[in-house]
Amino acid sequence: MTPYGIISDSHNHNWSSFATTLPSGINSRLQATLDETRRAAAEVKKAGGNTLYHGGDLFHVRGNLAPSVLNPTKDCYRDIIKAGVRIVINAGNHDLEDKEATRISSAITSLEDVGCKVINRPTYDATDDVAIIPWIPNIKDLKAAIEAIDPADRPNCDLLLHAPIDGVIKGLPDHGVTDAYLASLGFRRVFSGHYHHHKDFGNGVWSIGALIHQTWSDVGSKAGFLIVSDAGVKWHSTHAPQFVTIDGTTAPDDIPLIVDGNYAKVTINSAKTGDIDAMRQFLTDSGALGVIVLAEKAGGPAVARTGGTYKAGTTMEASIGDFIKAQPFTRPSELALLCQDILTTVRSVA
pLDDT tens string 267-292: 998 888 899 999 999 999 999 999 99
Q: How many CA atoms lie within 13 A of 106 on its CB side?
A: 22
79 contact partners, CB below 8 Å, separation of at least 6: 38
- pLDDT of res. 2: 94
- Could you tell me which residues come within 8 angstroms of residue 76 by beta carbon, excluding any fewer than 6 positions away? 34, 37, 38
214 HSE (CA, 13 A, CB side): 30
Please give the Cα distance from 118 to 122 (Å, whole number): 11
118-122: which pairs have CB atoms within 8 A and are 24 or more residues apart? 118/88, 118/89, 118/91, 119/88, 119/89, 119/90, 119/91, 120/91, 122/148, 122/149
Residues 6+ apart with CB under 8 A from 266: 245, 246, 247, 279, 283, 291, 292, 293, 294
pLDDT, mean of residues 83-100: 96
Instruction: Express each pLDDT in 167-183 by its tens digit.
Output: 999 888 899 999 999 99
Cα separation, 164 vs 176, in Å, equals 9
pLDDT of residue 271: 84
Q: What percent of the chain has pLDDT over 90?
A: 78
Q: What is the mean pLDDT of residues 89-102?
A: 95
Q: Which pLDDT score, from 0 to 100, does residue 340 have?
A: 61
Asked if the model's pLDDT at residue 310 lies above 90, the reply is no
CA-to-CA distance for 215 and 243, rounded, in angstroms? 7
Share of the chain above pLDDT 70, in %: 85
Confidence of residue 336 (pLDDT cuts 50, 70, 90): low
pLDDT in tens, 142-159: 999 999 999 999 999 999
- When pLDDT is averaged across residues 191-207 and rounded to a whole number, the result is 98
Instruction: List, in sequence order, every residue forming a beta bridge with 158; answer none if it has no partner.
Output: 130
Mean pLDDT for 242-256 is 93
pLDDT of residue 305: 27
SS3 318: helix
Query: Of 194, 208, 240, 195, which is closest to residue 95 (Cα–Cα)?
Result: 194
How much is the average pLDDT of 319-341? Answer: 64
Name beta bridge partners: 118. 89
DSSP string across 73-97: HHHHHHHHHHTT-EEEEEPPGGGBS
Q: For the whole model, what pTM was predicted?
A: 0.85
Better pLDDT: 344 or 184: 184
Average pLDDT of the segment spanning 243-251: 92
The pLDDT value given to residue 50: 96
Residue 130 has a pLDDT of 96
d(CA 116, CA 108) in angstroms, rounded, equals 9
Q: Are 40 and 5 in contact (CB under 8 A)?
A: yes
Question: Mean pLDDT, to the nearest integer, of 301-327?
Answer: 48
| CA separation for the pair 122, 169 (Å, rounded) | 26
Which amino acid type is present at position 52? Answer: L
Q: Is 74 a residue whose pLDDT tops 70?
A: yes
Whether the pLDDT of residue 101 is over 80: the answer is yes
Average pLDDT, the chain: 89
Taking 60 as the threshold, does the pLDDT of residue 216 lie above it? yes
pLDDT at 202 over 80: yes
pLDDT at 191 exceeding the cut of 60: yes
The residue type found at 134 is P
pLDDT value at residue 296? 76
Mean pLDDT of 66-78: 98
